[in-house]
Amino acid sequence: MKVAIIGCGSIGRRHISNFLTLGCDVIAYNRSKTRRDVVKKLYKISTYDNLNEIALLQPDLAVICSPNIFHLDHSLYFAKKKINLFIEKPLSLIDQNLTKLKSIAKKNKIISHVGCNLRFNYGVVKLKNLIEQKTIGKILSVEFNTGMFLPAWHPKENYMQMYSSKKNLGGGVLMDMTHELDLSMWLFNNPINVSSIIKNTKTLKINTEDFVNILMRYKNDLTVSMNLNYIEKPYRREIYLIGSNGKIDLDLINRKLIIYKGSSVRKISYPQSIDHNNMYLEQSKFIINLLKKKKKPINNITIAEKTIKLAKKIIKNNLIIK
């Protein structure tokens, strides 16, 4: 299976490594000669600075890892060439129209997947099972807390030059952390009401939002809140649930899931054999099986569009008056 990685930043390099590990023939594209040279040296693969050259090689899959603003254009380009798509999150920017991509993908029978690696995380899978089994009864309230200090995210890079810091490249904490939006949809479906506070605290001197608070209400009176930010240190990524018969705390950084029921406390730790890359590798295995038609889509273009629509609601219902 031939896989073309479009974009050789940190996530692109991770996908190169994983698809090579899984026995794929991997090629890569990047506009920057510096990044192409790094990839050549690290992985001994062919790299290109022209998308037409990639298309002529007829890969089975194009993995779109370019800056957010290019996701839709690059996806359209390969969909027109009848090349299957793995699009890193987010699927598109808020103000981009997905109608054309959906139409071409349907016409050309494109198999697609939009990045949702947290769905393959050991703790998140366990959490979903516990929710479905009603382990703590009816879920009443959920908190997603994700905070990271942007300058420490990729310490070898100047964070001011990263796409996260630039509006014109589609950066900002809301679209960077659409994984949390995706998980809320996957675990609890669509909210009926959404409100938010979206702001740039000026702490990092960037021109994108660095702080987002979201509150969502569901038909069954469930409330879900999210705190997403670029400022917090040390890095935190947690999901906290309160149910009618207990509570669950999932700490994705310290790799622990704790279930509280009355006086009972049950702790589940991730197996030592599972490292941070495991969820990305499992997602890549899933995509290979998706292309072989051994699996059904779980987050194709049509499904992932729901997350973009949720992000639009969050922006529309921002309570801060600009």
- For the chain, domain boundaries: 2-110, 118-271+300-316
User: Is-contact 87 113, C-beta < 8 A?
Assistant: yes
- DSSP state, 166? -
Q: Residue with structure tokens 């790094």?
A: 38
Using CA atoms, how far apart are residues 164 and 210, in angstroms rounded to an integer? 9
2-110 and 118-271+300-316, same CATH topology: no
pLDDT at 162: 87
Identify which of 121, 171, 139, 146 has the alpha carbon closest to the alpha carbon of residue 271: 121
- DSSP state, 318? B
The first and second tokens of residue 35, run together, are 């990044």
Beta bridge partners of 213: 197, 227
pLDDT at 226: 98
Who's near 55: CB < 8 A, 6+ residues apart?
Answer: 77, 78, 81, 83
Who's near 128: CB < 8 A, 6+ residues apart?
Answer: 186, 187
Topology of domain 118-271+300-316, CATH: Dihydrodipicolinate Reductase; domain 2 (3.30.360)
State whether CATH 3.40.50.720 applies to domain 2-110.
yes
Who's near 201: CB < 8 A, 6+ residues apart?
Answer: 210, 211, 231
Q: What is the pTM of this model?
A: 0.94
User: Is-contact 73 92, C-beta < 8 A?
Assistant: no
pLDDT at 286: 98
pLDDT at 322: 53
Show pLDDT as tens, one digit a residue, over the chain (322 residues). Answer: 999 999 999 999 999 999 999 999 999 999 999 999 999 999 999 999 999 999 999 999 999 999 999 999 999 999 999 999 999 999 999 989 999 999 999 999 999 999 999 999 999 999 999 999 999 999 999 999 999 999 998 888 899 988 899 988 888 999 999 999 999 999 999 999 999 999 999 999 999 999 999 999 998 899 999 999 999 999 999 999 999 999 999 999 999 999 999 899 999 999 999 999 999 999 999 999 999 999 999 999 999 999 999 999 999 999 986 5
Handedness of CA 155, 157, 162, 165 (dihedral sign): positive
Using CA atoms, how far apart are residues 322 and 306, in angstroms rounded to an integer? 26
